[in-house]
């Protein structure tokens, strides 16, 4: 039998503990006024956290990928989620995850899964109303494989938050971090262009319905984030739909959906189609809908098509998030519920 850890119960004991005095990714207030210090500046907003506020979680099942110490799972549970599964590639935060659950009085499940590919298989076909895939796509050899592998785990009509580093450009391309041009961090590979992110999501039957963006030049971090390009961090909220979403001038997407081997093999479409329909609501979203999508006749008839946005236009025309209030950042306080 494994013994329950004993957590420091007084500020003095906590301040002297190895729990508090180790490296933390996020900041956490663990006892009133006693903080584990995260590595982000206070002024930097956490975009997936802001995006989560648009999702109504009461009674929902949620998945957080690349969870670190579990800031998002705490917010999901406090937001009313019935069940939360947090996963990470390696088990580097297991003890801190348990401590956070103790001090915040919430519980969620955790699994270490290795590479984030084939997730719907690794997660035994479980379905989720909301999946958070943030801070992960630039860390993997193949971002498309990760999204495709997750697709079968999303309930029909469910929501996915996809947040990653991007280059703002309507052309669809991915920029590789050759010679550490984009970031020195050795696990960083790709910055997708906003055009490619938009295209890949629609290809995988995910309608982008809202997005927020922060330019790297506005981020005052100890590590280099600026690039020579117009780059930044984006968080996109997507709604799962039953059809790919080509623009009206695009015949290739439908053809590839119908005839490509990879499209048939990699996303588990059978599982995606067999998932129950989620009723997860969003709050009122203000982004302007695009008008160049050729919706399928059946989709129109079913009136199931959410108002999709054009990610690049939204980034270019809507104001970027640059400043964080204390409750918007990468630090969680005991009283925070959002």
Q: Which residues bind to ligand SAM, rule: CB under 6 A? A: 48, 66-68, 88-90, 115-116, 134-136, 139-140, 163, 187
CB of 120 to ligand SAM, least distance (A): 15
How many other C-beta atoms are found inside a 10 Å radius of the C-beta of residue 178? 8
Long-range contacts of 285-290 (CB under 8 A, 24+ apart): 285/54, 285/209, 285/210, 285/237, 286/210, 287/209, 287/210, 287/211, 287/314, 287/318, 288/313, 288/314, 288/317
Q: How far apart are CA 231 and CA 269, in angstroms?
A: 33
Between 139 and 290, CB nearer to ligand SAM: 139
Helix, strand, coil shares of the chain, percent, nearest 5, are 30, 25, 50
**C-beta of 25 vs 103, nearer to ligand SAM:** 25
Q: Which is nearer to ligand SAM, 117 or 295 (CB)?
A: 117
- Residues with Cβ within 8 Å of 15's Cβ and at least 6 positions away in sequence, in order, are 34
Distances (CA, A) of 337 to 104, 125, 167, 221, 285: 10, 30, 32, 26, 20
Nearer to ligand SAM, 140 or 167 (CB): 140
CB of 239 to ligand SAM, least distance (A): 20
Minimum Å gap between C-beta 115 and ligand SAM is: 5
User: Minimal distance in Å, beta carbon 308 to ligand SAM?
Assistant: 23
Identify the residue whose tokens are 């059809």. Answer: 243
**Which C-beta is closer to ligand SAM: that of 66 or that of 208?**
66
> What burial class does residue 176 get, using C-beta atoms within 10 Å of its C-beta: 0-12 exposed, 13-18 middle, 19+ buried?
exposed
Q: How far is the CB of 154 from ligand SAM (least distance, A)?
A: 17
CB of 62 to ligand SAM, least distance (A): 13
**In the bound complex, what is the minimum distance in angstroms from residue 319's beta carbon to ligand SAM?**
22
Encoding tokens for residue 325?
């209030």
> Toward ligand SAM, which CB reaches closer, 188 or 256?
188
Closest to ligand SAM by CB, 73 or 246 = 73
Q: How far apart are the first and last CA of the chain?
A: 36
């Amino acid at each position: 039998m494994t013994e329950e850890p004993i957590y420091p119960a007084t500020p003095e004991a906590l301040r002297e503990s190895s729990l508090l005095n180790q490296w933390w990714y996020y900041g956490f207030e663990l006892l009133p006024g006693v903080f584990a210090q995260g590595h982000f500046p206070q002024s930097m907003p956490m975009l997936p956290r802001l995006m989560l506020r648009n999702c109504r979680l009461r009674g929902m099942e949620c998945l957080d990928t690349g969870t670190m110490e579990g800031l998002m799972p705490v917010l999901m549970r406090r937001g009313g989620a019935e069940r939360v599964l947090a996963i990470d590639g390696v088990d580097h935060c297991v003890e801190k995850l348990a401590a956070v659950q103790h001090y915040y009085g919430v519980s969620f499940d955790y699994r270490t899964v290795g590479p984030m590919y084939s997730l719907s298989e690794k997660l035994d076909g479980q379905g989720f109303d909301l999946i958070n895939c943030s801070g992960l796509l630039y860390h993997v050899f193949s971002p498309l494989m990760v999204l495709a592998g997750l697709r079968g785990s999303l309930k029909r009509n469910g929501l996915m938050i996809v947040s990653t580093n991007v280059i703002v450009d309507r052309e669809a391309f991915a920029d590789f971090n050759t010679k550490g041009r984009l970031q020195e961090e050795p696990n960083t590979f790709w910055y997708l262009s906003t055009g490619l992110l938009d295209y890949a999501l629609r290809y995988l039957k995910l309608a982008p319905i809202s997005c927020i963006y922060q330019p790297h030049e506005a981020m005052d971090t100890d590590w280099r984030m600026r690039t020579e390009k117009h780059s930044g961090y984006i968080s996109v909220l997507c709604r799962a739909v039953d059809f790919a979403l080509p623009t009206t001038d695009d015949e290739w997407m439908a053809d590839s959906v119908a005839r490509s081997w990879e499209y048939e093999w990699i996303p588990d479409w059978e599982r995606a189609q067999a998932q129950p329909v989620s009723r997860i609501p969003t709050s009122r979203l203000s982004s302007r809908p695009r008008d160049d999508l050729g919706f399928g006749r059946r989709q129109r008839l079913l009136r199931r098509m959410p108002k999709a946005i054009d990610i690049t236009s939204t980034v270019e025309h809507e104001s970027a998030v640059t400043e964080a209030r204390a409750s918007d950042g990468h630090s969680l306080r005991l009283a925070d519920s959002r």
